[in-house]
Structure 1
Amino acid sequence: MKLVIFGASGPTGRQATEQAITEGHSVTAVTRHPEDFPLRHARLRVAGADVLDPAAVERAVAGQEAVISTLGVPYGRRPVTVYSDGISHITQAMTKHGVRRLVCVTSTVLFGAPAPGETFLFRAVLEPLIARTIGRTVYEDMRRMERIVSDSDHQWTIVRSAGLFDADQVSDYQVATSRLPGRFTSRADLGNALLRQATGDRHVRAFVDVRTTEGAPSFLDVMRKEALGGRK
């Protein structure tokens, strides 16, 4: 299958790219700095493009069969528009070139419901602190992106991941259309879930949660290493 991956230079994008190549797909990895992209393969094309440049996005989407977006930006106080502006350009390019399948990443926070079995401290204090203060501008733009995607006529799936961490390999992770128990998703599992969705049709026009159940770190470890860095 011909796949284009936006945000390919991020940790999740690299996971999705590498796994797709391993499975035999042809991949166009979109990054603003193609010279720094660490992967090389005969079935990989590295495209230098900014998702905020409609013409560059259109060139990357042309000829593809499915689109994966792993766009991500760090938490901060400034307004964020990368998610919504980027997905607008992506969906416009998909419409022009007749590409139907779209899979993108947001956050489990957007379910608007606590994780089953979560502690009162996390449910009532820590998660609201992250969602409404530390990550407010990021989540606001993620919501705008979700509205753009869900209002489109594409065959979309939005994957709402939990707190991200690095793992060496894909695990026996869980997928559901409602919020799952647990706080974390490994990037290996998230990359695999994105690939499964992009190459299949099980959750078309649905929001899905992905949760790692094996070897997940503690909340403090993830906050210290990952959340404040904002990496996707």
Structure 2
Amino acid sequence: MSNIILIGASGFVGSAILNEALSRGHQVTAIVRHPEKVTTTHSNLKVIAADIQNAAALTDIIKGADAVISSYNPGWGNPNIYNDTLTGYKSIIDAVKQANVTRLLVVGGAGSLYVKPGVTVMDTGVLPEAIMPGVKGLAEVYYNQLKPLTNLDWAFFSPAGNIAPGERTGNYRLGKDDLIVNDKGESNISVEDYAVAMINELETPQHHNERFTIGY
């Protein structure tokens, strides 16, 4: 059993990770903006309201944890999502280091994955313009905040191009920097299987200071 800090546990991906972690017997401290949005109850779950942008307060909460999993998203409807993503992750990274927690797993985005050499999903024009600020923010977190880090064991886990509610099959493929597609050119994963792979990575680390991705 691990003592996990889960940031953004009330969100779409975060709630799936929360359920998967609890089902495997882990102790989870969920950090959220609105505790009332966490509808799961469990003897191994503690829910704390906190401002992610406050690194000092965050440091105090996460001290003693075995790992931090971050599904932080300032909200797709937030007009400041780009800047808030960057400042939020700077705060999270600073807090993790200050708390002497050595493992950080980040729910990444698919936008920075490659579809062919030198061309990312963001470059193809298939993503709606409305979500591009958030997509670009997460990409910059990966490139500019995580990749230069040498004193923290991090992993940035990008989902498939389409992540949606579905089945927990446990059958999927993992890759590194390239979008995983099926024989029809589709890139899909259920949020349940994404959560399985994230907790697998927590329990049996395979990726260190790198990005990895998932798909069917």
- Please identify, of 184-193 and 69-78, the stretch whose mean Cα deviation from structure 2 is larger: 69-78
Give the gaps of 5 or more residues in structure 1. 116-122, 214-232
Q: Secondary structure at the match of 1:103?
A: strand
Tell me the CA shift for residue 78 of structure 1: 5.0
Q: Give the 3 Å change call, closer, same or farther, for CA 34–25 of structure 1 in structure 2.
A: same
Q: Using CA pairs below 8 Å that are at least 6 residues apart, which structure has the higher relative contact order?
A: 1
Contact 1:76 1:137 in 2 (8 A): no
**Counterpart-to-counterpart distance in 1, 2:146 and 2:159:** 17
Residue 145 of structure 2 is aligned to residue 148 of structure 1: yes
Given residue 98 of structure 2, which amino acid in structure 1 is its aligned partner? K
Q: Equivalences for 1:15-164 in 2 at 5 Å? A: 15-72=16-73, 73-74=75-76, 80-114=82-116, 127-130=124-127, 133-146=129-142, 147-152=144-149, 153-162=151-160, 163-164=162-163
- Residue 118 of structure 1 aligns with which residue? none
Q: How far, CA to CA, are the matches of 1:81 and 1:43 in structure 2?
A: 34
Aligned to 2:194: 190
Aligned-partner Cα distance in 1 for 2:167–2:141: 30
Task: Note the alpha carbon deviations across 1:59-117, whole angstroms, 9 max, x for none.
Answer: 331111101111233167655223221221111111112111111122222023349xx
Contact map agreement 2:60 2:99 (CA 8 A) in 1: no
Separation in structure 2 between the aligned mates of residue 138 and residue 167 of structure 1, nearest angstrom: 24
TM-score (ref. length: structure 1): 0.79
With over 3 angstroms needed to count, the CA separation of the structure-2 counterparts of 1:178 and 1:27, relative to structure 1, is: same
Letter of the structure 2 residue corresponding to residue 6 of structure 1: I
| Alpha-carbon spacing, 1:51–1:174, altered in 2? closer, same or farther (3 Å) | same
Gaps of 5+ in 2: none
Identity %: 20
